[in-house]
Amino acid sequence: GAGVSQSPSNKVTEKGKDVELRCDPISGHTALYWYRQRLGQGLEFLIYFQGNSAPDKSGLPSDRFSAERTGESVSTLTIQRTQQEDSAVYLCASSSGTTNEKLFFGSGTQLSVL
């Protein structure tokens, strides 16, 4: 596609439910990132995928968070047993994976946990 696509754009869920967020990166981009942005705060790194290498999961805040990526395409971020503090915008970005670090961001998924 022309850009990074994320779905859904908005998700409202009840505390304790599981949610899945989807990211379609730019075709051919080997690197994919997930970030979280709480209201009024900066972007918090969650996880990074690069080709077939083991993902960098160092930013995941708890074992309720997990992410997968199928080859060099779609990624899903799963949050189990959601809590109110999980409410945030979840941003996905992709890049060519070279030393050119221009990241292309999606518009994000606004997650609201009631």
Q: Specify the residue, 9 or 17, whose C-beta has the smaller distance to other proteins.
A: 9
Q: Positive or negative CA dihedral for 110, 59, 63, 34?
A: positive
Residues 54-113 that bind other proteins (CB under 8 A): 56, 58-59, 91, 93, 101-108
Size of interface with other proteins, in residues (CB under 8 A)? 25
Work out how close the CB of 79 gets to other proteins at its nearest, in angstroms, rounded to a whole number. Answer: 19
When computed from its CA atoms, the radius of gyration of the chain, rounded to whole angstroms, is 13
Site string for other proteins, 20-59 (x = CB under 8 A): -----------x-x-x----xxxx-x--x-x-----x-xx
How far is residue 44's CA from residue 60's CA, in Å, rounded to a whole number? 9
Work out how close the CB of 15 gets to other proteins at its nearest, in angstroms, rounded to a whole number. Answer: 26
Where along the sequence are the contacts to other proteins (CB under 8 A)? 3-4, 31, 33, 35, 40-43, 45, 48, 50, 56, 58-59, 91, 93, 101-108
